[in-house]
Amino acid sequence: MFRPRRASLVLSLAAAVTLLVSCSEPTVDDTLTAANGQVFDLSAEQEGRIRTERVDAIAALVPAPIRDRGTLRVTGSVNSTPPLGFYATDNATVIGSEVDIAQLIADVLGLRLDRSSADWAQNFVSIDSGQTDLFISNVTVTEERKDKYDFATYRLDNLALEAPTDSGWAYRDRKDIAGKRIGVSSGTNQEQLLVDWNARNVAEGLAPAQIVYYQNSSDYYLALSSGRIDGYLGPNPSAVYHSASTKETKILATYSGAGDALQGEIAVLTKKDNGLIGAVAKAIDHVIADGSYRKALDRWGLGEEAVESSEINPPGLPRTS
């Protein structure tokens, strides 16, 4: 049975983004200041972005067509609230922790980062067609996805169930979603968890939850505030940021992205057996070792979700069948 994570885990995860979420409104110089005085750069220029140097031995592992092209084509979504992937104050440039990780990988590989944005499902289509090389956008490793894609991990995956601040929902465990309207993004591991919870509840004679699908944060937060849904299951960093900065929502429970039996992990995704994942994993290990990786995460308040090393195709969220 899936249960809320222990209070200690909830507190540790909340601490991971505390610096980011206790913030004021952006100032005229495109910054966001946390309660302790730490300043976050929301500008399009991102002059404070962490960079590193090319490593020839790792760059040599990149498949020749990509090396010859000279660019690393990365796709991602912009449907998250900060700090993952969101628009800068120019409302056009995508910034956030996921963009910074992509930049570090490109730096080590000696390639220019060429990042594009698409809806969640279209990111997979872009990888399948070869239009882009990597999908870096809070992607969880799952056993089903491993059939088609290779993964290199770079951050822990944790989810949060978010509800309106004035909600009287006394949530204890997955049985309490029975009969509720729960929002989720289609094709995500959180959708898979909700489907599994529904199946378990129905098998025990409980009413299923109504799963409502959203692709944009503005849409599901509007649905929460208007009472059209009772809760939203999504990435923990975004939920903590939103709930603390707006005070419009609260977190009812926090989970590993893979459930209690396994700590979920966020990973770079690429087309299976295209020869690129080994170079990506070594690039991540290199920036972990040189310290630039931790600086990049700390820049967005996500240092507590750091991994010690990158693992290729680790155990993922179980199959749905």
Confidence of residue 8 (pLDDT cuts 50, 70, 90): very low
Give the pair of three-digit tokens for residue 237.
């960093």
Going from the C-alpha of 258 to that of each of 135, 150, 246, 318, the distances in angstroms are: 20, 18, 28, 8
Q: Is the pLDDT at 33 greater than 80, yes or no?
A: no
259 close to 200: Cβ distance less than 8 angstroms: no
0.85 cut: is pTM over it?
no
Query: What percentage of residues in the chain have a pLDDT greater than 70?
Result: 86
Instruction: Enumerate the β-bridge partners of residue 233.
Output: 161
Checking if the pLDDT of 90 tops 60, the result is yes
Q: Do 32-156+265-305 and 158-256 share a fold?
A: yes
The count of other CB atoms within 10 Å of the CB of residue 36 is 8
Q: Indicate the CATH number of 32-156+265-305 among 3.40.50.720, 3.40.50.20, 3.40.30.10, 3.40.190.10.
A: 3.40.190.10
- The H helix count followed by the E strand count for the chain is 11, 14
Q: What pLDDT shows up at residue 79?
A: 64
pLDDT at residue 30 in the model: 84
Q: Which of 111-115, 187-191, 226-230 has the lowest mean pLDDT?
A: 187-191
pLDDT (tens digit per residue) in 127-154: 999 999 999 999 989 999 999 999 999 9
pLDDT of residue 163: 97
Per the CB < 8 A criterion, the answer to whether 42 and 32 are in contact is: yes
How confident is the model over 26-55, as a mean pLDDT?
77
> Does residue 17 surpass a pLDDT of 50?
no
Pick the CATH number of 158-256 from 3.90.1150.10, 3.50.50.60, 3.40.190.10, 2.60.34.30: 3.40.190.10
In the chain, domain spans: 32-156+265-305, 158-256
